[in-house]
Structure 1
Amino acid sequence: MKAIVYTQYGPPDVLALKEVDKPVPRDNEILVKVRATTVNRTDCANLRAKPFIMRFMLGLFKPKNQILGTEFAGDIEEVGSEVTSFKAGDKVFGFEDRVISSYAEYMVIADDKAVAMMPEEMSYEQAAACI
């Protein structure tokens, strides 16, 4: 799958489109095909690792998690064996700030995190932006 990746801290110039492995959901996770995401303060701060103290969480010399993106909207493609709240085909939106990864075609998120069914009248873009 394609993802926007950063392997070093810095300005937006360090972002690159690359092929990466498609994530596989664990028993308590859902696999989301990302249809919309946002750029927000968290993503910008993580990209530059500023203030410096953030590097103790993100990676001292280079980012541990190389895909940014906290807010998302998309379609569930697959659910883990323990997931009962969602099913494949559901339209969902949410926020994930621990395992940041919505700047990719697919992402996984635990079903008990900040993820919910999208209101029917909302577009993917509206749903991702309203988080």
Structure 2
Amino acid sequence: MKAVVYTHYGTTDALKVKEVEKPAPKDNEVLIKVHAASVNSWDWDLLRGRPFLARLKGLLKPKYNILGADIAGRIEAVGSNVRSFLPGDEVFGDLSGCSWGGFGEYVCADENALSLKPAGMTFEEAAAIPQAGVLAL
């Protein structure tokens, strides 16, 4: 699968589109085909490694090589312990507490980080809600 990857802190020049291994869900995770992801200040902070607190999980190099926390997409597979979702469900959520990786074609996420996407909402609209919506509140 393709993903926007970074291996060192820096500016947008550090971002590269690369072919990476498609993730597989753990027992409590779902595999999501990402249809939309939004960019926000947390992505920028992690990319730059600033403020210094952004490096808590990766002092010298990033812990997560694929940014993107706010996503919307369709579930393709579920782990054996997942009870809230089924393959085919349309979901959205904030992955910053579990995995990041929304700037890839696929991402795995803990089921607790997700909600069902409202039927009348586009994937793009849903992906813009999680962090921006909470900050607006």
Q: What TM-score, normalized by structure 2, do the two folds share? A: 0.91
CA positional deviation for 1:65: 1.1
> Which deviates further from its counterpart, 92-101 or 30-39?
92-101
1:5-42: CA deviations, max 9, x gaps?
00111111110000111110011110000000011010
Structure 2: runs of 5+ lacking an equivalent: 131-137
Partners of 2:103 and 2:80 lie apart in 1 by 26
- Supply the distance in 1 between the matched residues of 2:123 and 2:46 (Cα, whole angstroms): 24
Q: Does 1:69 pair with 2:104?
A: no
Q: Deviations over 1:44-97 (max 9, x none)?
A: 00000101232232x121112100001000000000111111000000000011
Q: Give SS of 1:112's match.
A: helix
Q: Distance in 2 between matches of 1:118 and 1:54?
A: 29
Q: CA shift at 1:130, angstroms?
A: 1.8
1:36 equivalent in alignment to 2:36: yes
Query: Which ranges of structure 1 fall in alignment gaps of 5 or more residues?
Result: none
* Separation in 2, partners of 1:41, 1:83: 30
Distance 2:34 2:122 in 1: 13
Distance 1:21 1:34 in 2: 15
For 1:90 and 1:56, the matched residues in 2 are separated by 34
**TM-score (structure 1 length as normaliser):** 0.95
Q: Which residue of 2 aligns with 1:97?
A: 96
Question: 1:2 aligns to what?
Answer: 2
